[in-house]
Chain A
Amino acid sequence: MVKLKIHTKYEGAWSNADELLLCLDTGSWRAERPMVDEEKCNYCGLCILYCPTQCMTNMEHHFVPNLDFCKGCGICARECPREAISMVAEGNFRDEEEI
């Protein structure tokens, strides 16, 4: 009788968020990146409210997207009443990790 190695902890179909909280690298999905003009921003908060991934970070008098998770959907740029956000193609940037 072959002795089998069983790794699952539970008998049933349980998951445990404390043991493993999954996270996807959705920042790599982007084709365009939101750029925030600090001068134009009036800190109204609509971009942080409407961002589907809730990745807009509060920098005390303006907001910047968390590029790890920003999917580049452009809703923040569309909803900004001051047109302070513009979507710029990813090709224009070179991240520090490359090279």
Chain B
Amino acid sequence: MIVKKKKLPKVFDYFQDEDAFAGGISICSGCPMELLLRFMSKVLGKDIIIVGTPSCSAIVLYGQNIGSWHKLAYYGCLMTGVASSATGISRYYRKIGKDVTVVCFTGDGCAADVGFQPLSGAAERNENFIYICYDNEGYMNTGVQRSSTTPFGAKTSTTPIGVARRGNETTGKNLPFIMAMHKVSYAATATLSHLEDLAKKLIKAKEKKNEGFAYIHVFSPCPTGWGFPMDLSIEVCRMAVRTNYFPLWEAERGKFRLTRKIKKPRPLKDLVRMIRKFSHLTDEEMGMLEKEVHERYKLIEGMTRMMPLEENP
């Protein structure tokens, strides 16, 4: 006899509002970004202004002529203008004395590449809005091209595998750490397998944005672009955390704290063998990827020891 659980998981307590998006929206089956959009609109509520950019999410965030795919107020602008437009909106509402939550929702292509300068400028000025970057390690909407967060060795359509060149040649930017080093009021990493962690970080970002800039970097693997079955999306997120490929931490004004410490991290192979964009890696290339992952984890761990963020009493 199966014992039925009395209550739904604790995460449901964080939901403020109904899902603001229409039932059927045009995002790939199994995409974690769709889960992120709907989850975010439930946790942050419907009184937000969301600033979007041309990306996989633009299909849904931007309307079509008079119609819209969701009930939120949005501002659809260019990649170069996301952080700047959010600055304009939040500064205007600050001038008229109204508390408004402005959320920028972009991919890694905008945040790390073409929109990086305005993002860095807004972070330095500690503007009052939330910036959520969903990292699928490439420009997925235009056909899986490399971006500056694409990891070493990854196969993309602009870094294909051939005799002369094999995959991505650089290790990519450690974007969440760069943003934390702007000494912003809140910077965090999160992913879609650890939803309670994500909910807490979204709510904390909403509070902290009143003090200054809040940045959340969400690991959002792309089944279409990376090459794994669509039902494994959440499992890939989970494995990324368990192998320390994507450690979960948060930082306030340059002081760090791991929100999920993995006691026995699994070998990186467990993640890499799930994903086809890494299937061509030789042992040497795998060694270089492991080194980069290891160094990034050591960096975060070191910061949590040197500049620790105290737990709230």
Contact = CB atoms under 8 A, between A and B. Distances in A.
Interface string A1-36: 000000011100111110111111111010000000
B2 interface: yes
Interface in A78-99: 78-79, 82, 87
A9 B66 contact: yes
Contacts of B233: 52, 73, 75
Contacts of A78: 231-232, 234-235
A23 B26 CA distance: 9
Contacts of B12: 45, 49
Interface string A48-79: 11111111000001000010110111110111
Given A17-B72, A21-B71, 20 more contacts: A15-B63, A19-B66, A19-B67, A21-B22, A21-B67, A22-B68, A24-B25, A25-B24, A26-B23, A26-B24, A39-B2, A49-B11, A52-B31, A52-B34, A68-B23, A68-B24, A73-B29, A73-B233, A74-B231, A77-B231
B298 interface: no
B68 A20 contact: yes
Contacts, number: 129
B195 interface: yes
A73 B65 CA distance: 30
Interface residues of B, number: 43
Interface residues of A, number: 48
A40 B29 CA distance: 26
Contact of B68 (A15, A52, A73): A15
A84 B35 CA distance: 22
Contacts of B30: 52, 71, 73-75
